[in-house]
Amino acid sequence: EAGVAQSPRYKIIEKRQSVAFWCNPISGHATLYWYQQILGQGPKLLIQFQNNGVVDDSQLPKDRFSAERLKGVDSTLKIQPAKLEDSAVYLCASSGPRGSNYGYTFGSGTRLTVV
């Protein structure tokens, strides 16, 4: 089966600019996640969707970050305006039915550099 697709692979922007990332999860996976991974750290959950509804966005900086998952499939994550500390890899993941032993499937991520 195809994996989780993310684009772009790399992005360099200036601070105060806006940027958007796109994710296409594995077909049939109802749950989609966006994680932020700062260099040298573990991934931090930004938002979790179940179909097109938000399950957890407690760590999403809502003054500048937004995310949507239209029709319960693809998702976009937007940052506006970007700050230097937003430089990180943004990882999208999806998961299948609860109770499965297969964990999450992650995309390759988008590496964002804010200068």
Partner 1 sequence: SQQGEEDPQALSIQEGENATMNCSYKTSINNLQWYRQNSGRGLVHLILIRSNEREKHSGRLRVTLDTSKKSSSLLITASRAADTASYFCAGGTSYGKLTFGQGTILTVHP
Q: How far is the CB of 21 from partner 1 (least distance, A)?
A: 13
CA distances from 53 to 28, 69, 84 (A): 15, 8, 30
CB closer to partner 1, 52 vs 105: 105
Q: How far is the CB of 30 from partner 1 (least distance, A)?
A: 9
CB closer to partner 1, 4 vs 79: 4
Hey, is 67 helix, strand or coil? strand
CB closer to partner 1, 19 vs 95: 95
Structure tokens that stand for 13 in this block: 């922007």
CA torsion through residues 43, 9, 14, 79, sign: negative
Interface with partner 1 (CB under 8 A): 4, 31, 33, 35, 41-45, 48, 50, 55-56, 91, 93, 95, 98, 101-109, 111
Contact between 24 and 94 (Cβ < 8 Å): no
